[in-house]
Amino acid sequence: MAPTAGWAETAELARTIEAAGFSGMLFTETSQTPWGQITAASLAAPTLQFCTGIAVAFPRSPMIAASQAWELAENTRGKFRLGLGSQVRAHVKRRYGAEFDPPGPRLRDYVAAVKACLRAFRGDEPLHHEGPYYDLSLLPAQWAPRRHEWGDVKVDISAVGPYMCRLAGELADGVHVHPLHSMHYLRERLLPGVAEGAARAGRATDDVDLIVPVFAIPCDTPEERAVMVRTAKTQIGFYGSTANYAFQFDDLGYPGTSAELNRRLKAGDLDGVAATITDEML
């Protein structure tokens, strides 16, 4: 998971990652868009695989998302896959000024529209998508992206709750798991939802790739470990302070943790946030 950085820094990081033997890089969309970073990384380290994990869907049209994915697929020679997500209501409406509700059905229509664009780009069929939120039917030849041999672009989505898990199983090529998760969540919530969606579409669960980020603590000394453990606990606490993720703690026998994290975060008590996440939780 690549950090926010300039193009030169990203290129240097990509070369380091490639030399270390890793297979790819994942780019998020937080304080900057991912496309420039992916371009820089792919030019510096052309053997790596690249994906967005995730690009925010609703503020950009499905045509724009599909066009960006198509261009990156060509220029990485098929080493790019598009990860999309709904983000949360506050960010979509108040930061991006876009429509959000209802997020599940809207993302369903969005993914279908993106895939319709990709089929049109490949020449499989004329552009025609008519859904409840997106209507796309115009792609003049002079505006269509040029054909290339890497047109089978994978489209993944992020999923936390039951609807999105089912949607991933039904329509997506892969599912981006939220960094705040446990093996219990994967086994008891996410995978059953993906399987249910896949069954609806007549697919096998194995047809859906899992993209699962983890909090890793690679270190050489106890001092380094202490710093990284605190960083991980603080980040887990930040995620867990959101009421939507309270069930993650409740499922593991830590009820009330999310509310306590929210209280401490609002008070600016980052030490308290980290302390609330015990070693056992971690």
Q: How far apart are CA 212 and CA 222, in angstroms?
A: 27
- What band does 175 get if pLDDT is binned at 50, 70 and 90? very high
pLDDT at 210: 98
CB 155 within 8 Å of CB 173: yes
How much is the mean pLDDT over the chain? 97
Convert 183-241 into a string of H (helix), E (strand) and C (coil). Answer: HHHHHHHHHHHHHHHHHHCCCCHHHCEEECCCCCCCCCCHHHHHHHHHHHHHHHHHHHC
Q: Cα–chain-centroid distance for residue 124?
A: 27
Query: pLDDT at position 92, please?
Result: 98
Asked whether 104 and 130 are in contact (CB, 8 A), the reply is no
pLDDT in tens, 194-220: 999 999 999 999 999 999 999 999 999
Taking the model in full, what pTM does it have?
Answer: 0.94
pLDDT at 206: 95
Q: Can you read off the two tokens belonging to residue 127? A: 């552009």
The H or E element spanning position 158 is strand 155-159
Q: At which residue do the structure tokens 């929210």 appear?
A: 262
pLDDT value of position 266: 96
Is residue 69 within 8 Å of 118, Cβ to Cβ? yes
DSSP letter string over 61-84? -HHHHHHHHHHHHHHTTS-EEEEE
Tell the residue number behind the tokens 């690249």, with chain if given: 50
pLDDT digits (tens, 9 = 90+) for 50-94: 999 999 999 999 999 999 999 999 999 999 999 999 999 999 999
Per-residue model confidence as pLDDT tens digits over 19-35: 999 999 999 999 999 99
Residue length of the chain:
282
Q: How confident is the model at residue 240 (pLDDT cuts 50, 70, 90)?
A: very high
Q: What is the distance between the alpha carbons of residues 223 and 129, in angstroms, rounded to a whole number?
A: 56
Across 34-40, average pLDDT: 98
State the pLDDT at residue 151.
98
Percent residues over pLDDT 90 in the chain: 99
Q: Is the distance from CB of 28 to CB of 58 less than 8 angstroms?
A: no
Q: How many CA atoms lie within 13 A of 100 on its CB side?
A: 14
Model pLDDT, residue 256: 97
Task: List, in order of start, the domains of the chain with CATH numbers.
Answer: 7-211 (3.20.20.30), 222-276 (no CATH)
